Chain A
Amino acid sequence: NAGVMQNPRHLVRRRGQEARLRCSPMKGHSHVYWYRQLPEEGLKFMVYLQKENIIDESGMPKERFSAEFPKEGPSILRIQQVVRGDSAAYFCASSPPGGGKNTEAFFGQGTRLTVV
């Protein structure tokens, strides 16, 4: 059973471009969480999605950031018009149906976004 797969592992974008980060959850998992880790800082929650629904987006910046988890395919975190401050590691985690407080969430290896 493959783990949480994130791609690309490294992404370089010029200021003003769009960044698309993909997350394929573990097989059978229907809950996805996105986190951001700025250099030398902790992990900050961004958004929690179930298939086709955003459950909690309290950590998402109000502008330029969006996330989706379609019925088919991976979850996508999209950053429009990137700025240097978006440079960070973005981690995705998944958990099984139920997704509640008694279910483990497993993380991918992250996408490291560099904005130049």
Chain B
Amino acid sequence: DAKTTQPTSMDCAEGRAANLPCNHSTISGNEYVYWYRQIHSQGPQYIIHGLKNNETNEMASLIITEDRKSSTLILPHATLRDTAVYYCIVRGTASKLTFGTGTRLQVTL
């Protein structure tokens, strides 16, 4: 599965949109981009995934560039409860999810 690169940490003001970038320049055509988050020491929480089209659900939006080499997770109105480590994962034929170090998002008042 392709490797991903994410910033180590980001801050976001409560109520503002949080835009979390992810680089996956070696992604293959049949690999999906997944986003999970881990709040404190809880179990990882599924957020969203996509192949090449932009996706939106009740939690977030996923924007994948046309060349698929990068993507952005958007939390439209961040709250304090969105403070977590966010993981961008490229998932291919191996099926397993390989977690990197993620981005630590701190939402502040």
Residue numbers of A with Cβ under 8 A of B are 4, 31, 33, 35, 37, 42-45, 48, 55-56, 89, 91, 93, 99-102, 104-110
**Chain B, 43-74, CB within 8 A of any chain A CB:** 43-46, 49, 51
Q: How far is the CA of A18 from the CA of B55 in the complex (A)?
A: 45
- Identify 29 residue pairs between A and B in the complex whose beta-carbon atoms are under 8 Å apart, listed by A's number: A4-B43, A31-B95, A42-B99, A42-B100, A43-B38, A43-B44, A43-B99, A45-B97, A45-B98, A55-B95, A56-B94, A56-B95, A89-B41, A91-B43, A91-B44, A93-B97, A99-B95, A101-B31, A101-B32, A101-B95, A102-B32, A102-B49, A102-B51, A104-B49, A105-B46, A107-B45, A107-B46, A110-B42, A110-B43
Looking at chain B's contact residues, is the secondary structure mostly helix, strand, loop, or mixed? loop
Kindly list chain B residues whose C-beta atoms are within 8 Å of the C-beta of A110. Answer: 41-43
Residue of B nearest to A58 (CB): B96
Kindly list chain A residues whose C-beta atoms are within 8 Å of the C-beta of B44. Answer: 43, 91, 93, 107
Size class of the B contact interface (CB-based, 8 Å): 20 to 34
Q: How far is the CA of A99 from the CA of B97 in the complex (A)?
A: 11
Q: Do A106 and B46 have beta carbons less than 8 Å apart?
A: yes
**Chain B, 1-49, CB within 8 A of any chain A CB:** 30-32, 36, 38, 41-46, 49
